A and B are shown apart, each in its own frame.
Chain A
Amino acid sequence: MDEARPITITLNGRPVPTAEGRYLLEVCREQGVDIPTLCHHESVSPAGACRLCSVEVRDGKGWSRVVVSCIYPCWDGMIVETDSPRAIGVRRLVLEALLARCPRVPVVRDLARRYGIRRPRFALEDHECILCGLCVRVCSEVVGVHALSMQGRGAEKECGTPYLSGESTCIGCGACVYICPTECIHMEDRDGVRTIWHEEAGVKSSVRRFELKYCKVCGSLVGPAGQLDYIRKKVGLPDDFHDLCPGCRATGRQPSATP
Chain B
Amino acid sequence: MTGAGGWVGGERVGATMTPLLRSPEDLEEARKRSRASYEAVRNYISVCGGTGCRGGGCLAVAQAIRDAVREEGLEQTLPVRLTGCHGFCERGPLVVIYPQKIFYQQVKPIHARRIVTRSAVQGEVLEDLLYKAPDTKEPIPHEEDIPFYRKQMRLVFGQNGAIDPENIEDYIALGGYSALVKALFHMQPDEIIEEVKKSGLRGRGGGGFPTGRKWASMKKAHSPDGRRFVICNADEGDPGAFMDRSLIEGNPHSVIEGMIIGAFAMGATSGYVYIRREYPLALQTLTKALQQAREYGFLGRDILGSGFSFDIGINRGGGAFVCGESTALMASMEGKVGEPRPKYVHTVEKGLWDRPTCLNNVETWANVPLIINRGADWYASIGTEKSKGTKIFSLVGKVNNTGLIEVPMGITLREVVFEIGGGIQKGRRFKAVQTGGPSGGVIPEALLDLPVDFDRLTEVGSMMGSGGMIVMDDRTCMVDVARYFLEFLTEESCGKCVPCREGVRRLKEVVDRICRGEGRKGDLHLIEEMAPEIADGSLCGLGQSAPNPVITSLRYFREEWEAHVRDRKCPAGVCKELITYSIDPAACTGCMACIKPCPEQCITGERKKPHVLDASRCIQCGACYEVCKYDAVVRR
A residues near B, CB below 8 A?
47-52, 54, 66-68, 71-73, 86, 89-90, 92-94, 97-98, 100-101, 121-123, 130-131, 133, 149-150, 152-157
Contact = CB atoms under 8 A, between A and B. Distances in A.
B614 interface: no
B509 A123 contact: yes
B344 A97 contact: no
A100 B539 CA distance: 21
B495 A157 contact: yes
Contacts of A66: 536-537
Interface in B509-564: 509-510, 526, 530, 532-534, 536-539
B337 interface: yes
Contact of A67 (B344, B497, B498): B344
A152 B494 CA distance: 8
B506 interface: yes
A157 B506 CA distance: 15
Among B505, B534, B536, the one with the most A-chain Cβ atoms within 10 Å of its Cβ is B536
Given A97-B503, A101-B502, A155-B501, A90 B493 contact: no
B497 A48 contact: yes
Given A89-B532, A101-B502, A131-B495, 12 more contacts: A72-B344, A86-B532, A90-B533, A90-B537, A92-B533, A123-B509, A131-B501, A150-B337, A152-B495, A153-B494, A154-B494, A155-B501
Nearest to A94: B498
A168 B278 CA distance: 33
B501 A94 contact: no
A128 to B, nearest CB: 15
B496 A54 contact: no
Contacts of A149: 337
B533 A93 contact: yes
Interface string B204-217: 00000000000000
Contact of A122 (B342, B501, B509): B509
Contacts of A89: 532-533, 536-537
A72 B534 CA distance: 19
A97 B502 contact: yes
Given A50-B497, A71-B342, A98-B502, A154 B533 contact: no
A154 B501 contact: yes
Contact of B505 (A50, A71, A155): A155
A52 B491 CA distance: 23
A145 B322 CA distance: 28
Contacts of B534: 93
B495 A153 contact: yes
A51 B505 contact: no
A121 B520 CA distance: 11
A173 B539 CA distance: 32
Contact of B495 (A71, A94, A101, A154): A154
A121 B526 contact: yes
Among A48, A86, A150, A155, the one with the most B-chain Cβ atoms within 10 Å of its Cβ is A155
Contacts of A150: 337, 495-496
B435 interface: no
Given A67-B344, A71-B344, A94 B499 contact: yes
Contact of A49 (B320, B322, B493, B497): B497
B537 A94 contact: yes
A93 to B, nearest CB: 4
Contact of A155 (B322, B490, B537): B490
Given A54-B536, A89-B532, A93-B533, A49 B498 contact: yes
Contacts of A72: 342, 344
Contact of A50 (B495, B498, B509, B510): B498
